[in-house]
Structure 1
């Protein structure tokens, strides 16, 4: 149920059932949303939460130049790290949105001068291409490859046919490098080098 997809004709009701199944409102939402940076600092004080949040940041790091949208090209690691956050203070859940978007139960309304840092933190959940593609691929059953669909296999191009020879024609000649020519100055230099080496060995 965590990553199941919803049919196009039942997006609203299906997504709400998915939200309530994963984390019911009565056990998840408080009257006031805490600040996301405060929630992050609270997570860092707990070893389990801190390590799982670090895994999520590492394994779900988006990369726009990647075909999968993930820096590590691994949907399974991203989904495993995401599911590891459930049960901690950073527990994410689906937002009431037509697209796949998740967020911890927090906001950036009282961030002060740290508003930009708070927005960047929340956008890693709400607007994460890697995580969104991984969830979609799992729900569609195409998560075997990281390409969003089964990755195309590389096919080696066929070898060119051997050249044909007409009857009675001479066989093709192979190119050979020209013979090396040794000049007198080169021989004198080699002889001088050999004499110096022999003198060093004797002494």
Structure 2
């Protein structure tokens, strides 16, 4: 009996001191070629990899990010000119592979989106995006709204997003409302992006 207790206590000592390690990269130029390994801080239980792409008439940006996270969801979002995919795992250095680029294969679902000029459009959802999403926040007293497609896993996340007062998802085609509100598209997308990086 004493041997079993001793082995159990040794196991606890060795595992309690183990911290998760993940690849880290801030590929603001679209590449994680210089990624490094980092020991995650206390409270981080996931390794994440994220790919975000924004394309419009005057803008084209691809960002790849890897890091530790306290929580994370596998899935994707599509806001029309901006897409985001994330992949998460929970073992040491499991985020070696980049999150995939957004799928361009439509799945038949359609949702409303708002472009940079505050015009309402529709976007074809793809891959696992089986929900329409609407997120609302404020910036300098001005209402900020983004709309688009999202995976169920992202909609089911319960952690609040900084600077965002309301996130709602629905299942029907074009169920996220056609009316638009004065908005700053990139601001709210950045808040949603920070959610995936920090939560």
More helix by share: 1
- Between 1 and 2, higher relative CO (CA 8 Å, sep ≥ 6) is seen in 1
What TM-score does the superposition give when structure 2 sets the normalisation length?
Answer: 0.24
Rg larger for: 1
More strand by share: 2
